[in-house]
Amino acid sequence: MMKIQLTESQMSNIDDGNKLVVDDELWEFIDEQETDMDDNGKYKDVIYKQPSTGKFYRITLFYCRYGYEDYGFENYMQCNEAIEVERKEVVHIEWCTVK
């Protein structure tokens, strides 16, 4: 597994929906998925493809929650890492009541 350290500027561009450029190379946006949310905040995974290698990387954004009933989110706590990932198909089995 390979990790690439990103700068604050690169992380801001991702959060703003802009392009990700690493070492003068424009990475291709592949997918975005919001994951868990709790009282502390929420996570969003963004997948990019590095064109020169064909490898895929996941960048996890964390949004800190502030406020109680009328709350919002701030994105100041980031790990700034792009972690190499691969796509795998997972089969989910669920037992349902017969109707």
Answer yes or no: is 52 within a domain: yes
Answer yes or no: is 96 within a domain: no
Answer yes or no: is 33 within a domain: yes
| DSSP line for 11-80 | HHHHHTT--EEETTEEEEEEEEEEEEE-SSEEEEEEEEEETTTTEEEEEEEEEEEE-SSS-EEE------
Answer yes or no: is 64 within a domain: yes
Domains identified in the chain, total number: 1
Determine if the pTM surpasses 0.85: no
Does the CA dihedral 67-72-74-80 come out positive or negative?
positive
Tens digit of pLDDT per residue, the chain (99 long)? 899 999 888 887 786 676 899 999 999 999 988 777 666 777 888 899 999 999 999 998 887 766 666 665 555 556 889 999 999 999 999 999 998
Answer yes or no: is 42 within a domain: yes
* 3-class DSSP assignment, residue 42: strand
Answer yes or no: is 34 within a domain: yes
What range defines the domain where residue 68 resides? 3-85
List beta partners, residue 20.
Answer: 27
Answer yes or no: is 8 within a domain: yes
Answer yes or no: is 70 within a domain: yes
